[in-house]
Amino acid sequence: MKEQRTISKVNECLFCDVVSGVKSEEIVYQDDKFIVFPTNDPSAPVHLLLVPKVHISAKGSHVKEKEELLGHVFALARDVAQKMGVGESYKLLLNAGHSATEN
């Protein structure tokens, strides 16, 4: 299956590099809104990053405009957790801002 890429690089965002194909990762799942891949530094047996295909900065006023996209992450997390065999119990965290590893 050919990988779908829809984001243009924003500054030095690692996630934008993955979505745009500049940085290669093992893609676990993707749809028109998100790409999912394992982290390079896992803290659990199943530790995945669910990254939107559009750059969203918590510092920007456009977060309100992305409510539907951000809401999609909860259903996606459930579906991917089930696919990975951890659907009965999983943790979902959100990082926002540079000190939380968002560029």
The tokens for 81 are 């957790």
Residue 15 CB burial class (10 angstroms; 0-12, 13-18, ≥19): buried
In a domain, residue 6? The reply is no
Look at residue 51 and tell me whether its pLDDT is greater than 70: yes
In a domain, residue 1? The reply is no
User: How far apart, in whole angstroms, are the C-alpha atoms of residue 82 and residue 18?
Assistant: 24
In a domain, residue 89? The reply is yes
> How many structural domains comprise the chain?
1
The H-or-E segment that residue 83 falls in is helix 67-83
In a domain, residue 3? The reply is no
In a domain, residue 92? The reply is yes
Domain containing residue 82: CATH number: 3.30.428.10
In a domain, residue 4? The reply is no
In a domain, residue 55? The reply is yes
Look at residue 91 and tell me whether its pLDDT is greater than 50: yes
Look at residue 103 and tell me whether its pLDDT is greater than 90: no
The domain containing residue 71 runs over which residues?
14-100
Q: What pLDDT, on a 0 to 100 scale, did the predictor assign at position 68?
A: 84
Mean pLDDT of 79-87: 94
In a domain, residue 37? The reply is yes
Per-residue pLDDT tens over the stretch 1-50: 344 444 444 567 888 888 888 888 899 999 999 999 998 889 999 999 99
